[in-house]
Structure 1
Amino acid sequence: MITSRSVPTGLARSALRSLGQPITTPCQQCRTFLRPARHSGSRAYETINLNRMRTQHHDYHRNRRAVLLGGALAGSIATCYTAYRLVDAVRNPTQFDAPASGPDKVDPFVTEGGVKRKTVIHDDEGRELVPTGNSTITTFPRTLDLHLGAQAAQEKVNGVEYTLVGLGVRTVSFLGIQVYMVGYYLATQDIAAIQARLVKEINPIATTLVANEKEELRKALLDPVQGEKLWTEILREVRPRSAFRIVPIRDTDFHHLRDAFVRAVQARSTGRPAEFGDDEFGTAMRDFRAVFNRGKFPKKQELLMVRDNSGHLTVTHDTSGTGAARETIGQIPEERITRLLWMNWLAGSKVASEPARQNIVEGIMEFVERPVGTVATQVV
C-alpha cells in the first residue's frame, strides 16, 4: 500500500486513485498508547437533548438566585442586628461595677430567707424607687399618689396611693427590640380585697397561704386558662383601682401604641358577640382610638392608664417622666375596654410582656403570704 507522510495533492492523488490505493493522512496513520487510529470511513455522532439542557440551565440559575438572595438577606439581618447592638452599647455603656449578667438582666426582686422581695432604694429626695434592671429606664417609683380616677370627691382631693406590684419590658420581633417598660400598680387600700379573693381561691378557710399553697396559686395565675378566668373575676367583681405606667425605652409615637392596644382588645373580644357586639362597645372603641390620636412619644416620658372602681379609664401623659406634669388626655367610661386592655398584660396565652406578667405574679405572691388586711399598713 502506497502511503505518504503528507497529504497527496495534484497528480499524486490521481495516480493513487488509478492504482486503487487509499489516500491516507498522517493523522490516520498515528497510533496512540490508549486509542487506535481512526479509520477514514468512521464518523462520530453525539445525541443532544435540547429540552434537558434548557431545564438544567433554568434550574441552575434559579438555584443560584435563591442562594444569592438568601445570602443577601442573612447579611442584611446580621448587619442591622450588629449595628443595633453597637448603637445600644454606645448609648448605654455597661459600667465596670455592673453585675456580670449585664444591666438588663438584673432581677428587681431580692431573695430574703427564701422569699422574694422587691428591691427598694431611695433617691436624693428620699423617694422610694424600685430598680427595673434596664439601662435606659433604671427605676420605677414604688408608689404613685394620684388625684384622678377615683369616684369619691374626698379621694379626688386627697389622692389615692397606688403600690407597684410588678414590672417588665415589652419587646418586639425575634431580635428582642425593647419598646417600653410597663409597671402594674394597685390602690394600696384595695390590696386587702385582692388578697382575700386570691387566698379563698386556693384555701377557702385560710387568711394567708403557706409555701405549697403559694406554688399552687402561682401555677394558676401563670396558666393561660386559669389565669385569665381568675383575673377576669377579679376585674369584674372585686374591681380594684389600678394603673399601668408605661415609659418608652426608645422614641416612638402614640399611633403605634394605639394600634397595639386596639389589636389586643379586639383579639380578646372577637368571637364573643353576645358580650361585646353591642353599639355601646363599638362607640367606646372609637373613643378609645381617638384618645391616642397624638404625635410623638419620646423615650422616658410617661403614659399612665388608670382604672377606677367603676372600671372607667383615665389616660394621662407626662412629658417630664417624673409625674410632675401629668395631663389628662382622655377618659373612657366603659368597663369592658379596661378589662380587656388589662388582660393584655395580666393573663392569657399571649401577653404583651411575659417578663411583666411573671414579675406581677411574684408581686402577688408577696401579698398572699401575709394575713389579709395587713399589706395596706405594711408594704415592702
Structure 2
Amino acid sequence: MYTNTLAKGITKNYLSRNIRVSRFSTFLRLRNTAAAHSTSNASSVNASAPKKYSNYWIASTLGLGVGALLYSYQTAGKLPEIEYFEINDQINSFPSALRPPLYPLSTNYSLLGLGVRSVIVESFKVYGLGIYIADSDRKLVPMILNSFFLKKAFIDTDESKTHKENVKAALDDPVKSVILARNLLDGGVRMTAKFTPIKNTNLTFVREGIIKTIWNHPDAEANKEILEKGIDELRKAFNKKGSFLKDDDLLMELNADGSLQITYVNCKHGDIYKMDLVKEPAVGRFLFSQYMSGPNPLSVPCKNEIVKSLVDLV
C-alpha cells in the first residue's frame, strides 16, 4: 500500500520559507499569555477541564483582520472554544485545536491525544507531543473502522463485548493496532503532530530521532527498500539546521496522499520556516503509526488518549 503512485493535488504551499508572518506572531504572543494564565492542572485530554479562552476573547485581543474573522466564525457557530491543556510545567499548554492562519497548516485540526515523550528513564522528559486530526476527516474514522472486513477479521472477535469495546481492545493490542492505524492512514485521514521541546535541543538530533522512530516500525524491515529512499528524501527535506529551542514548535502535517510537510515555528518571534515536502508516503504513514499503535509508542499517555478519542468517534 505504500508503493502506490502519489495522488494529484498535493497541498499547496501557502507560505514561503523563512518569512515573518505578523498575524501569526501576534497570535503566538496571545497564546503564550493565555497559557501562562491557564489554571489547568490537566495532564491529559481527559483530565479535569482546563480554563477556556473563547474565540470572542481572541478576536477582541487581535482586533481587526484575523481576529474579526474568528469572531464571525464564532458567532455563526462554526468554531468551538479553544481550550489549553497543561502537560508539563516547563512548557506552554497545548491548544485543543490548530487552525490556519493562526498555525501554518492547510486545514483545521482538533486534538486526538497528547503526552510527554520520555527517554531512558521516565524522569528524563524530552518534549511535549500532541497529535491532531483534520476536522473534515473525523467522519472517515467510523467509516474505516466499521468496514465489514476490519470488523469481521480484526475487531469484533469477542462476542461478549460491544463494537466500541472491541475497537478499544484492538487499538490497545500491539499487533492489531498497527493494522488499524495503517488502514486509517492509507484511507486518507490527515493528521498533524506538534512537538514542543522541554529542554533546548537541535534539529539534527530531532531529525535522527524521527528517522529512528520510522525504522522501529514493525513493518519497516519488510519495506526496507522503499523506506531507504524515503528517509533519504526526509534528510534532504529537513534542510533547516541549528537549535530547536524550548517552547518552539515543530509541526508535521500528514496529507491525505501520505506526503509530509514539516514546519519549524519560532514561537518567540513568530518566524515560520517550511521545509521541503517529503513525497514518499511510507515515511509519514510509518511515523504517525508509531504515535498511535504498536508495542512501543513514542508516548504511552499520548497513545492512550488517541485510542480513547478514536473509540469516541466510532
The secondary structure found in structure 1 opposite 2:184 is helix
Alignment correspondent of 2:206: 257
Alignment correspondent of 1:225: 175
So what's the TM-score if we normalise by structure 2?
Answer: 0.68
How far apart, CA to CA, are the structure 2 residues paired with 1:293 and 1:332? 14
The secondary structure found in structure 2 opposite 1:330 is coil
Shift of 1:282: 2.8
Residue 168 of structure 2 aligns with an amino acid whose one-letter code is: R
Alignment correspondent of 1:189: 136
2:92–2:247 CA contact under 8 A, matched in 1: no
Residue 355 of structure 1 aligns with an amino acid whose one-letter code is: P
So what's the TM-score if we normalise by structure 1?
Answer: 0.57
Alignment correspondent of 2:114: 167
The secondary structure found in structure 1 opposite 2:83 is strand
How far apart, CA to CA, are the structure 2 residues paired with 1:107 and 1:337? 28
Shift of 1:239: 1.3
2:115–2:299 CA contact under 8 A, matched in 1: yes
1:302–1:321 CA contact under 8 A, matched in 2: no
Task: Render the CA deviation track for 1:65-110: whole Å, top value 9, x for unaligned.
Answer: xxxxxxxxxxxxxxxxxxxxxxxxxxxxxxxxx89xxx5x734314
Task: Render the CA deviation track for 1:216-264: whole Å, top value 9, x for unaligned.
Answer: 211110110000011112212x111111111111111112111111112
1:180 matches 2:127: yes
Task: Render the CA deviation track for 1:171-199: whole Å, top value 9, x for unaligned.
Answer: 11225211111111111111101122123
How far apart, CA to CA, are the structure 1 residues paired with 2:86 and 2:115? 7
Alignment correspondent of 2:165: 215
Residue 282 of structure 2 aligns with an amino acid whose one-letter code is: R
Residue 187 of structure 1 aligns with an amino acid whose one-letter code is: A
Question: What CA RMSD, in Å, does the superposition of the two structures yield over aligned residues?
Answer: 3.1
The secondary structure found in structure 1 opposite 2:216 is helix
Shift of 1:270: 4.3
2:50–2:84 CA contact under 8 A, matched in 1: yes
1:353 matches 2:307: no
Shift of 1:363: 1.6
Q: 1:196 to 1:203 in 2, by over 3 A?
A: farther
Task: Render the CA deviation track for 1:198-219: whole Å, top value 9, x for unaligned.
Answer: 2344489xxxxxx833222111
Q: 1:203 to 1:191 in 2, by over 3 A?
A: farther
More contact order relative to length (CA 8 Å, sep ≥ 6): 2
Alignment correspondent of 2:86: 132
Q: How does 1:1-380 map to 2 (within 5 A)?
A: 106-110=43-47, 121-122=52-53, 125=58, 128-146=82-100, 159-200=106-147, 201-202=150-151, 212-236=162-186, 238-268=187-217, 270-272=220-222, 275-278=223-226, 281-290=227-236, 291=238, 294-320=241-267, 324-368=270-314
Return the index of the structure with the highest Cα Rg: 1
Aligned residues: 243
Residue 216 of structure 2 aligns with an amino acid whose one-letter code is: A
Identity %: 22
Shift of 1:301: 0.2
How far apart, CA to CA, are the structure 2 residues paired with 1:321 and 1:342? 27
Structure 1 unpaired stretches of 5+: 1-97, 112-117, 151-155, 205-210, 369-380
Q: 1:163 to 1:184 in 2, by over 3 A?
A: same
Q: 1:334 to 1:321 in 2, by over 3 A?
A: farther
2:264–2:274 CA contact under 8 A, matched in 1: yes
